[in-house]
Structure 1
Amino acid sequence: MGVQVRPATRTDVPALSTTLGRAFFDDPVMCWMLPDARVRRRRLHRLFESLTRHHHLSRGGVEVATASDGIGAAALWDPPGQWRQTRAEEWRALPSLLWSFGASLRRGSIVEELMKAAHPEEPHWYLAVIGSDPDVRGTGFGQALMRSRLDRCDDEHAPAYLESSNPVNVPYYQRFGFEITGEIPLPGGGPSLVPMWRRPR
């Protein structure tokens, strides 16, 4: 059986969070936010669990790509006009974020504020996170997820937006029609996020 894409359910959250934690372990921005590799390995999945449970899942845009071995990749999308967290969502997520970041919480807040400031106002589908487990990377899981939601964008003639936290992935997103719109540098010589926009089709 090949790769199958389906909407995520609440029972998928632990597994998809583990997959995303593994996917982003070596990500430049995650390494900047959580520089201790041991801490990152233990806690990064909790960050994705919190984001999924307290924001993205309720928006209906979370999808997983599965095969016989389980969830190989996940994508956290927000529909047009729904990318901002509500104050209630922020409060519910805070305990998990404190546990995930600890002393690095300030760095996480800096990244969040810079991303908010650069976020386009025009209604769009927002790809907040997409990642494949390193064990299946390059075997079509991420591509299946991208195609699933971008097909819907095209059906709705809606634009899409993302920030690439790893420059290596920029050409990959360009193949799906995303275009670079600027740069979001992190302070103190940190890495940059690359905002990318896909025009409606």
Structure 2
Amino acid sequence: MGVEIRRARRSDRDFVVGLLDEAFRDDPVSSWVFPGAEHRRARHAGLMGAFTDVTFAEGYIDLAEDGSAVALWMDVPADPEDADADTSGGSSGAEDRGEGAEDGPAQLRAAVDPDNERVEQIGRLTEAAHPTGRAHAYLWMIGVRPERQGEGLGTALMAPVLERCDREGLPAYLEASNARSRALYERLGFVFTGTAVDLPGGPALWPMWREPQTM
């Protein structure tokens, strides 16, 4: 599928936030974080804005030129203190992910929705599940406008980064938030790590790891 992709600039920030808000507002995980529809409409964009700002600061954002889809990526370096970890299935807690990293979820909650413990809770759960040891590309989020889903835009948007991973021998990691996206990622070479992130009283996230592919 011919999809023109460009690297998003900071001037695209509000557009990216709006696209993510539209793409994820009715996602099972977003519905768990903000269970009330009215509250979700009021707060969800703020969460997407926080994710966007962190990615601009620490990663990169790829945007379909026609504004239909967006992907938030980070290149995660190897952890020299855990270099022998089994990243294909193992994980460690937030205390192993860098000094002060455990404060991130609390800071996110304070900035986005201070009275909502689920904002902090999901951050801590995904941090604990994130593999350590080997450098990898982390697909934090990929959003497609609801009316454009099913057109292969997600695959097209991910292709350049996965091709780079294959060239450089770099693994990739993500958390699938629903069964449909999990099936897509499996077709792209991602494998479920074996331990789901079960949100209390809510849906599951499936951590998935992709070893670099050889031609």
TM-score computed with the length of structure 2 as normaliser: 0.80
Aligned residues: 191
**Structure 1 counterpart of 2:47:** 47
Q: Which amino acid aligns with 2:197?
A: I
1:66-105 alignment runs, 5 A limit: 66-67=65-66, 71-81=67-77, 94=107, 97-98=109-110, 100-104=112-116
Deviation, 1:20, is 0.7
SS at match of 2:126: helix
Deviation, 1:97, is 4.7
**Structure 2 counterpart of 1:186:** 199
Structure 2 residues not aligned, in runs of 5+:
79-96
Deviation, 1:195, is 0.4
SS at match of 1:79: strand
The answer on 1:8 being equivalent to 2:17 is no
Counting aligned pairs with the same residue, the percent is 40
Kept after mapping to 1: 8 A contact 2:71/2:141:
yes
Offset from partner CA, 1:87-126 (integer Å, 9 cap, x none): 59x78x94x754633422x111111111111111121100
| Structure-1 separation of matches of 2:148 and 2:187 | 20
TM-score computed with the length of structure 1 as normaliser: 0.85
Offset from partner CA, 1:133-177 (integer Å, 9 cap, x none): 112222232222111211111121100000112222110111111
State the 4+ residue runs in structure 1 displaced beyond 4 angstroms.
84-88
| Structure-2 separation of matches of 1:98 and 1:123 | 30
1:17-166 alignment runs, 5 A limit: 17-53=17-53, 55-67=54-66, 71-81=67-77, 94=107, 97-98=109-110, 100-104=112-116, 106-121=117-132, 122-166=134-178
What CA RMSD, in Å, does the superposition of the two structures yield over aligned residues? 2.4
SS at match of 1:103: coil
| Structure-2 separation of matches of 1:29 and 1:51 | 15
**Structure 2 counterpart of 1:171:** 183
Deviation, 1:86, is 7.9
Distance 1:97 1:18, change over 3 A: farther
Distance 1:80 1:30, change over 3 A: same
Q: Which amino acid aligns with 2:68?
A: G
Structure 1 residues not aligned, in runs of 5+:
none
Kept after mapping to 1: 8 A contact 2:3/2:64:
yes
